[in-house]
């Protein structure tokens, strides 16, 4: 009976310590996306690239560190497929955080775009934009508040 109690106590302590360890977080194709043109906005110029900016995390969790991001865009005809990832660790032993909130952005650039209508696909959603054009920026999932 004493061994059983000791074993359960040790099991409980190891579970508690695991909760205070380091958690690895991986995000894929989440967050809002903006298509930035030539004027840092919604102007898309023929034979120029566009920048695809993704707001992956608006505010990192307390204890987050070691942030790495990737972004890629693959073009098939007039469709741009964007893929973005963010990985970071959370030190669960951190109890007090600064009130400053760190965002996680990632960006990548398309090849120069000829005149035409383009479809943008990201995170299971799609939208379209015209090249050349000037006006509102193309966005997905609420855009990115930069």
Is it the case that residue 140 has pLDDT exceeding 70? yes
Say yes or no to pLDDT of 19 above 80: no
Around 51, how many Cα atoms within 13 Å sit in the side-chain half-sphere?
Answer: 14
So where are the chain's domains?
Answer: 2-140
Three-state DSSP at 4 gives helix
φ, ψ for residue 12, nearest 5 deg: -65, -40
pLDDT tens digits, 63-109 = 788 899 999 999 999 999 999 999 999 887 877 776 567 889 999 99
Chain mean pLDDT for the chain = 82
- pLDDT of 7 higher than 50: no
The encoded tokens of residue 5 equal: 């109690």
- What average pLDDT does the segment 7-20 reach? 36
Residue 54 pLDDT: 95
């Amino acid at each position: 009976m004493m061994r059983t109690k000791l074993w359960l106590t040790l099991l409980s302590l190891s579970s508690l310590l695991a909760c205070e360890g380091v958690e690895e977080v991986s995000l894929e194709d989440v967050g809002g996306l903006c298509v930035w043109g030539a004027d840092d906005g919604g102007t898309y110029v023929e034979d120029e690239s566009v920048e695809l900016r993704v707001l992956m995390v608006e505010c990192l969790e307390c204890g987050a560190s070691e942030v790495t991001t990737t972004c890629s865009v693959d073009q098939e005809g007039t469709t741009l497929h964007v893929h973005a990832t963010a990985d970071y660790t959370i030190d669960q032993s951190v109890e007090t955080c600064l009130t400053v909130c760190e965002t996680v952005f990632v960006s990548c650039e398309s090849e120069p775009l000829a005149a035409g209508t383009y479809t943008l696909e990201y995170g299971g959603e799609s939208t379209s934009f015209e090249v050349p054009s000037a006006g509102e920026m193309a966005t997905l999932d609420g855009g990115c508040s930069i």
